[in-house]
A and B are shown apart, each in its own frame.
Chain A
Amino acid sequence: MKWDEFFVTGEPMIYAAMVSIVVVSLAIPIALTYFKKWNWLWMNWLTTVDHKKIGVMYILSALLMLFRGGVDALLMRGQTAIPDNGLLDGQHYNEIFTTHGVIMILFMAMPFIIGLMNVVIPLQIGARDVAFPRLNAISFWLFFAGAMLFNISFVIGGSPDAGWSAYFPLASLEFSPTVGNNYYSLALQIAGIGTLLTGINFLVTILKMRAPGMTLMKMPMFTWSVLITNVIIVFAFPVLTVALALMTLDRQFGTQFFAMQSGGMDMLWANLFWVWGHPEVYIVILPAFGIYSEIISAFARKNLYGYKSMVVSMVAISLLSFVVWAHHFYTMGHGVMVNSVFSITTMAIAIPTGVKIFNWLFTLRKGKISFTTPMLYSLAFIPIFTIGGVTGVMLAMASADYQYHNTMFLVAHFHYVLIPGTVFAVIAGFHFWFPKVFGFMLNEKLGKLSFWFITISFNVTFFPLFILGLNGMTRRMYTYSESTGYGPLNMLSMVGAVGLAIGFIILVYNIYWSVRYSPRDIDQDPWDARSLEWSTHSPVPEYNFALIPTVNKLDAHWFAKKEGKPLATGKYEPIHMPNNSGLPVIMGALFFFWGFFMVFSWWIPAIVFGVLILGTLAYRSFEKDHGRYISVEEIERTENALRGAQHEN
């Protein structure tokens, strides 16, 4: 391989990206050295096993990836805004829609959701950390290694260009000879292992570490949604692991699993991809449903309507999510029987989802609604998501799908599901739980301004795509001639995309503004909310709860407030906490380099790093680490320094 193949060359935009990468990677260490922050970074963040800090790192990475994926989106909309545009060439456009999809789903939506899980779940169930804190740090660093590996592909070696679903035979070595799809298989593999570990970790946390008295049916709805999500993760991600391993074998070791001859089957990739891929959709949407349930009941000042039916419908969705995958490729050769079966299972999902929509509406009914920023996102979610759901039922009808398949109608549909479903939810959750983590609130005025920008622009961006799709514009076409008549609506969509970008810039500016100017004198429960996380201090001390609360009903914190009774009484006792560890971040770095050398099939360094990874596992097996105790005096000192805990001694 020559150097001009190693680096991506010939594109001014990519040269600019290279310069900015070099500048940033020089600026960070220089700034850390200048401000003498290395030690602070290592002790407080890189080696932390604290679920709150890991959550914050997940969310920061997600925001970074939102920026990357957003720039991709703007470039795509810019390219298609006018007919016969030359902003991007065909190859560059292919790479950008591929990385946009992968980054937004796996490196933006997933970490944002997992970040909120990390921050909220232990607090919501009255626990002091997750079940396996060290494993949690490993999850994060594996995700981060995978994300970084995927992102360097656009300057080193070339990005994957076969779509985010990487269908064979297009993604095979024969038709995608660059290393791009090696990045795809290896980066997703590394990040996927991290996600699988998260799934196991949170499953155990929720099943084993709930506060005394909190039976399953007294858990907050977000905890329920996360429990079910993690069940889906544990059962769906192994399929991705296997499929990606087969892809690596096919592309780099000469096997023929997805080949078109020699007994291979190219469509098997699409099949396996969606066996994982459809449950994945519910992995990012169910926690969002949980977030909305929390926010809607908090700001309607009512308990959640139909708690049991909410749980039952989520369990139903989790089972149904595994039996619908073939609806992603109705037009690719199935017989009538297969399409009929998958049509029916797909339409059946609309039933539990509809139950949830009605439950939210009934929660709102006769509520004293306060229109805060998180509540605005939740209210906007209901009608917009319903449009996404209804068009989903249209797509679910196999015979009609022959008309919609791979058109912009489909693109509009899944953006109408995923943006109000997931993106609005994580932004709403971000505003909602921000004061819990940092002890001050995000500015409401700026929050609402960005809400209106994002919501209106979202519709301006994506609604025209429904019409374009019905007019016959297919997805992933990098340009079109003027005679097709697609120009004006695409231009409208571009205007909306710019509006979305402005909305997100206001959101980021809001974080900056609030860090500098937002008042710090809030108490621990600024929204007057309902679940346990609001019963401890803001910001939350390292050990979460000085005394573990006892729960006797749903929304115990709310009733404790109304009755003026503390949730926890007793004497402080020394608290057992896990020690920090540098091993997870080192493992992340080793996995990154292992992945990088694997991508280029440079076997010797890949083997060296593989052995080093095994070495860290061996080291861990012999390590004696029994954690540490926080003394009663230290707890007292911390508790007195913080405000507003809701318990007595």
Chain B
Amino acid sequence: MKQLFPAQHVMGFLFSLLLSLVALVAVLFDLSFTAGMTILVVTALVQAGLQLFLFMHVKENAESKTLYLNILYALFVGLVTIFGTLFAMRWGYMVK
């Protein structure tokens, strides 16, 4: 029975649907910008983690160390690009 009904995955699937619904709150209700963004960022992070660990099996891979390293590198480059651009082109631009 356990093989026929992968409880963990079904639960994970329901939970990811729930997260998507929670994210909807940000547009359905009249929230402040900060509150909406907080909800979106938090649900997005949990969702990404859920997908990565449960459905993309990062942990179960024989080379999970390489994968983590890869994800870290991608995060580094992505965050540097986004915040570096904001830093160079917005926050620190034309400041004497």
Contact = CB atoms under 8 A, between A and B. Distances in A.
Interface of A: 207, 231, 235-236, 239, 265, 267-268, 271-272, 275, 319, 322-323, 325-326, 333-338, 341-342
B94 A333 contact: yes
B74 A235 contact: yes
B84 interface: yes
A265 B94 CA distance: 14
Contacts of B80: 322-323
Nearest to A232: B77
Given A231-B73, A268-B89, A319-B76, A337 B95 contact: yes
Contacts of B92: 334-335, 337-338
B17 to A, nearest CB: 30
Contacts of B89: 265, 267-268, 271
Interface string B17-56: 0000000000000000000000000000000000000000
B95 A335 contact: yes
B15 interface: no
Interface of B: 66, 73-74, 76-77, 80-81, 84-85, 87-89, 92-96
Nearest to B77: A235
A43 B85 CA distance: 49
B93 A334 contact: yes
B74 A335 contact: no
Given A268-B89, A271-B88, A271-B89, A239 B81 contact: yes
A271 B96 contact: no
Contacts of B84: 275, 323, 325-326
Contacts of B74: 235
Contacts, number: 51
B88 A334 contact: yes
5 contacts: A231-B73, A275-B85, A319-B76, A323-B84, A335-B96
Given A235-B77, A322-B77, A323-B80, A333 B93 contact: yes
Between B66, B76, B80, B92, the greatest number of chain A beta carbons within 10 A of the residue's beta carbon is seen for: B92
B24 to A, nearest CB: 28
Contacts of B81: 239, 275, 322
Nearest to B78: A235
Return the 3 tightest CB-CB contacts between A and B, nearest first.
Answer: A335-B95, A338-B92, A335-B92
Nearest to A279: B77
Nearest to A274: B88
Contacts of A326: 84, 88
A402 to B, nearest CB: 14
Nearest to A337: B92
B77 A335 contact: no
Between A236, A268, A335, A336, the greatest number of chain B beta carbons within 10 A of the residue's beta carbon is seen for: A335
Contacts of B93: 267, 333-335, 338
Contacts of A341: 87
Nearest to A324: B84
A464 B43 CA distance: 59
A334 B85 CA distance: 11
Given A275-B81, A322-B81, A323-B80, 13 more contacts: A231-B73, A235-B73, A271-B88, A271-B89, A322-B76, A334-B88, A335-B92, A335-B93, A336-B95, A337-B92, A338-B87, A338-B92, A341-B87
Nearest to B90: A265
A332 to B, nearest CB: 10
A235 B84 CA distance: 15
A322 B87 CA distance: 14
Nearest to A239: B81
A343 B89 CA distance: 16
B27 to A, nearest CB: 22
Contacts of A336: 95-96
B73 A335 contact: no
A322 B79 CA distance: 11
A326 B92 CA distance: 12
A335 B76 contact: no
Contacts of A268: 85, 89
Between B66, B77, B93, the greatest number of chain A beta carbons within 10 A of the residue's beta carbon is seen for: B77
B86 to A, nearest CB: 10
Contacts of A338: 87-88, 92-93, 95
Given A207-B66, A334-B92, A271 B77 contact: no
A567 B30 CA distance: 71
B52 to A, nearest CB: 18
Nearest to A276: B81
A177 B65 CA distance: 51
Contacts of A265: 89
A262 B77 CA distance: 29
A131 B89 CA distance: 40
B67 to A, nearest CB: 11
Contact of A271 (B66, B85, B94): B85
A492 B89 CA distance: 41
A335 B94 CA distance: 5
A341 B94 CA distance: 15
Contacts of A333: 93-94
A267 B86 CA distance: 12
A528 B18 CA distance: 65
B46 to A, nearest CB: 25
Contacts of B96: 335-336
A629 B95 CA distance: 66
Contacts of A337: 92, 95
A622 B42 CA distance: 41
Contacts of A207: 66
Contacts of A334: 88, 92-94
A489 to B, nearest CB: 35
Nearest to B87: A338
A239 B73 CA distance: 15
Nearest to B82: A275
Contacts of B66: 207
A223 B84 CA distance: 31
Contacts of A272: 85
Contacts of B87: 338, 341
Nearest to B70: A231
A448 B94 CA distance: 52
A265 B8 CA distance: 48
Nearest to A342: B88
A239 B77 CA distance: 11
Contacts of B88: 271, 326, 334, 338, 342
A616 to B, nearest CB: 29
Contacts of A342: 88
Nearest to B95: A335
Nearest to A231: B73
